[in-house]
Amino acid sequence: MEVCYQLPVLPLDRPVPQHVLSRRGAISFSSSSALFGCPNPRQLSQRRGAISYDSSDQTALYIRMLANSEIEVSVSARNVRRLLSFQRYLRSSRFFRGITVPNSSNILDDDYNGQAKCMLEKVGNWNFDIFLFDRLTNGNSLVSLTFHLFNLHGLIEHFQLDTMKLRRFLVMVQEDYHSQNPYHNAVHAADVTQAMHCYLKEPKLSKSLTPWDVLLSLIAAATHDLDHPGVNQPFLIKTNHYLATLYKNTSVLENHHWRSAVGLLRESGLFAHMSLENRQLMESQIGDLILATDISQQNEYLSMFRSHLDRGDLCLENANHRHFILQMALKCADICNPCRTWELSKQWSEKVTEEFFHQGDIEKKYHLGVSPLCDRQTETIANIQIGFMTYLVEPLFGEWARFSNTRLSQTMLGHLGLNKASWKGVQREQLGSGDDVDPTFEEMDSDILPQEPRLS
């Protein structure tokens, strides 16, 4: 996969030059980042992992704000404490003073009440309710679930990870998702990570994947939408946003998610004990996974996947083939909402549509031309979801079922068929009540895909 040109990242072990920190420049179009609630360049310079903008060459530089380690530690401590209960305050404060907490294998016991712990015992169940889990963990579903999965897969022991650094990394990841986004937030990242875990358990994968593969998969899933601004790539391009400039209008968001993840990995020092070669390989392969989630590249990946399946030449003993399957698995995890139970799928559909409509409202306000699917006056959730399922979800999960024809695959296809039928029912009701409905969707085949009994 071609990766667009990247500017060099400043070394993490050196103070940032003052002349770099002091650079300021206004983004064209009256600071497009302000249109959808993102910080302006002056605010960005105060943010961990911020991007500084230079108007002279229309280029953005990633800079890590580590000029003063004492300041950095205090800021990180303050940020982490927002996520901690009073009972966990002492543990976190000892961590930020550099004091090792003994018997760290029991750290999970301090984080979950009884109900959340019971849920984690069924983390591999496809009916896992991430919304309930997020409430039980007081909004910390991404940290709690991902830490548990690292432990469950034996990654902490295998890679000799410092549990305090791991927790710090996950807290920073969770913080860098925008909680005000209806859809692209930390709960979505936790949901994708849980789905990825389900796919890693599938027989073809579980017997072939290495701990390295599992490690990359979980990190990529947890960070795949990191720092998502709540608008799509065309919006960033047409407003001349600094991210579009930085990545030359190519996989803008995915490149940003990847680079943001790399920045937090380095800042946390989670893998500082590994060789430089292994760290660079990890960063590159995480990038390959995250870049594969670019929906504009869907047909290319699907065509490659279909060709492999037609030829029957996928060999999971081959590292490159395993990596490609992990890319497809992450793509499935990213858009698996229509394959969940109706109760869960409907919630996700409402959230993503509200995010679309919010972008449309901004576009109307600033006379930008409303993007497809973003006009709340002409679109409906039912129309959007039926089209999404028909053109994106069904083709992908149909091929995934060819690759891994298991109970889980059939369950996902069953839910997908039932959910599509449910949205068509909603659509007919809207048509009967006189609401606008796209007639092209009424002509689509309404056959429900093969179903299997739901997981208990």
pLDDT in tens, 130-144: 999 999 999 999 999
| Rounded (10°) angle between helices 319-334 and 186-200 | 140
Asked if residue 433 has pLDDT above 80, the reply is no
Tally of domains in the chain: 2
Domain presence at residue 56: no
With respect to residue 300, please indicate whether it lies within any of the assigned structural domains. Answer: yes
> Which candidate, 271, 295, 301, places its Cα nearest to that of 283?
271
352 labeled part of a ligand binding site: no
42 falls in which pLDDT band (50, 70, 90)?
Answer: very low
pLDDT of 95: 52
Catalytic residue among 148, 153, 178, 184: 184
Q: Within a domain: residue 16?
A: no
Whether residue 343 sits in one domain with residue 330: no
Domain check: are 326 and 188 in the same one? Answer: yes
Q: Are residues 242 and 287 in the same domain?
A: yes
Say which residue the tokens 């305090």 belong to: 164
Residue where a domain stops, chosen among 312, 334, 356? 334
Amino acid 440 reads T
The answer to whether position 219 is within a domain reads yes
158 is catalytic: no
Q: Give residue-wise pLDDT tens across range 298-319.
A: 999 999 999 999 999 999 999 9
Q: How many CA atoms are closer than 13 Å to the CA of 358, on its beta-carbon side?
A: 18
Select the more confidently predicted residue: 346 or 100. Answer: 346
- Domain presence at residue 166: yes
**Lowest mean pLDDT, pick from 49-58, 369-378, 392-401:** 49-58
Clarify whether residues 304 and 427 are in a common domain: no
Domain-embedded: residue 21: no
Same domain, 284 and 358: no
Does the annotation flag 34 for ligand binding? no
pLDDT, residue 98, reads 52
Q: Is the pLDDT of residue 197 over 50?
A: yes
The more confident residue out of 49 and 147 is: 147
Provide the pLDDT for residue 147.
Answer: 98
Same domain, 99 and 187: yes
Least confident among 25-39, 192-206, 306-320, 368-382? 25-39
Tokens of 298: 């869907």
CATH of the domain at 256: 1.10.1300.10
Assess if residue 84 is contained within a domain: yes
Look at residue 436 in the predicted model and tell me its pLDDT.
53
Span 243-263, pLDDT tens digits: 999 999 999 999 999 999 999
Which of 334, 366, 399 corresponds to the end of one domain?
Answer: 334
Residues 255 and 387 in one domain: no
Q: Are residues 94 and 181 located together in one domain of the fold? A: yes
Share of the chain above pLDDT 90, in %: 69
> Is 449 inside a domain boundary?
no
Read off the pLDDT of each residue in 78-82 and give the average, rounded to a whole number: 44
Is residue 436 marked as binding?
Answer: no
pLDDT over 50 (residue 12):
no
CA dist 220 and 193 (Å) reads 8
Tell whether 385 is in a known binding site.
yes
Residue 225 marked in a binding site: yes
Mean per-residue pLDDT over the chain, rounded:
81
185 is in an annotated binding site: yes
Q: Is the pLDDT of residue 428 over 90?
A: yes
Identify whether residues 356 and 308 lie together within a single domain. Answer: no
What's the whole-number mean pLDDT along residues 354-375? 97
What does the pLDDT look like over 57-70, one tens digit per residue? 333 333 233 333 33
13 is in an annotated binding site: no
Structure tokens given for 149: 């999965």
Residue 50 pLDDT grade (very low, low, confident, very high; cuts 50, 70, 90): very low
Q: Determine what percent of the chain is predicted with pLDDT higher than 70.
A: 70
Say yes or no: 174 and 253 in one domain. Answer: yes
> Are 421 and 356 contained in the same domain?
yes
Give the domain range for residue 78: 69-334
pLDDT value, residue 432: 82
Confidence of residue 33 (pLDDT cuts 50, 70, 90): very low
Query: Are 285 and 258 contained in the same domain?
Result: yes
Tell me what pLDDT residue 63 has.
Answer: 29
Of the two residues 79 and 298, the one the predictor is more confident about is 298
Half-sphere exposure of 211 (CA within 13 A, CB side): 12
Average pLDDT of the segment spanning 80-88 = 39
DSSP code at position 53: E
Number of neighbours of residue 18 by Cβ within 10 angstroms = 8
Choose one of 303, 334, 365: the last residue of a domain: 334
187 is in an annotated binding site: yes
323 has binding-site annotation: no
